[in-house]
Amino acid sequence: MDRESYEYFKKIGTPAIGIFILCILLFSCITYKAGLTWEETPLYLKVSSIVMIIALIPSICQLFIKRNFETPKQMMIFSKVFLLDAYICCFFLPFSMFQLYAFIAALNKVDIKDFWYLNLIVLILWMTIRLSINFLLFHTPKFLGDNKFIAILILKFLGSGIYLEKIIEFFMIPDIEENKIRLYFGQFVFILASHACILVYIKLYANVTGSYYYNDEGKKRSEEEIKQLT
């Protein structure tokens, strides 16, 4: 088993992103010092912030949970959990930037709820496309057959549409305290960072699962050999 990739996946990956997102959320709390009250905070911001914090707890806890006893089978199971956690963190990374902007809007009594929901839907669609692409990298559905590569290219093209959407959105959203440029520059950077992180996590996951199903010579392990690993 590729324990080095597994340990990197567990300790260095999602915890760092989780802590970074949490810092952005904590930075949003400055708006309360500037005059925003809990009663004035829109419900969608309250609910989404609580959901984000709860969703980030597993990734941050990985830094403090010591497990040095994993069997290869347990490493396989945990790797799937880490990958799911990575998708969650990579979704919330660009979303957290808009969350901060929404708090600034609430402080200034500007309603950007429609843009907030638009961001949420666009990022969900983008992450769904990323999930579909990564699924196709590991699996070949029967209905696609030899057309899998074409399907991946189409999905990549659709996924890149998020950048065009952000450019259009930039010219429509109100500029609050001259922070609009910072918001969309940050979102562009975080979307690119999320994309890069997903590629890294997929590679780490492939390293771990590959070493489980294939031996050092690149030959597929038999069911008996896999049982011996566990």
What are the tens digits of pLDDT across the range 5-40?
777 766 666 788 888 899 999 999 999 998 899 999
Looking at residue 1, its pLDDT comes to 55
User: What is the Cα–Cα distance from 139 to 126, expressed in whole angstroms?
Assistant: 20
> Looking at the 3D structure of the chain, how many domains does it have?
1
- Which comes out higher in pLDDT, residue 190 or 141? 190
pLDDT at 58: 82
Which residue has better confidence, 230 or 211?
211
Inform me whether the pLDDT recorded for 204 exceeds 60: yes
Give dist(CA 157, CA 167) in Å, integer.
16
| 7-21, 66-80, 117-131: range with lowest mean pLDDT | 66-80
Give the angle 135-141-143 at the CA atoms, nearest 5°: 140
Residue of higher predicted confidence among 218 and 60: 60
What does the pLDDT average to over 186-190?
A: 91
Which domain does 41 fall in, by range? 3-229
Mean pLDDT for all residues in the chain: 83
Question: Is the pLDDT reported for residue 216 higher than 60?
Answer: no
More confident residue, 102 or 202: 102
Structure tokens at 157: 């093209």
Query: Residue 181's pLDDT is what?
Result: 92
Please give the Cα distance from 27 to 128 (Å, whole number). Answer: 28
Is the pLDDT at 89 greater than 80? The verdict is yes
Supply the pLDDT for residue 145. Answer: 72
How far is CA 147 from each of CA 43, 126, 136, 140, 143, rounded to the nearest angstrom?
45, 22, 11, 9, 9
Distances (CA, A) of 58 to 17, 65, 118, 122, 152: 12, 10, 27, 25, 31
The structure tokens listed for 169 are: 């959105």
Question: Which residue in 68, 63, 118 sits closest to 85, CA to CA?
Answer: 63
CA 120-123-125 angle, 5° bins = 110
pTM: 0.83
pLDDT attached to residue 68: 58
With a pLDDT cut of 90, the percent of the chain lying above it is 40
DSSP state of 218: S
Within 10 angstroms of residue 129's Cβ, the number of other Cβ atoms is 19
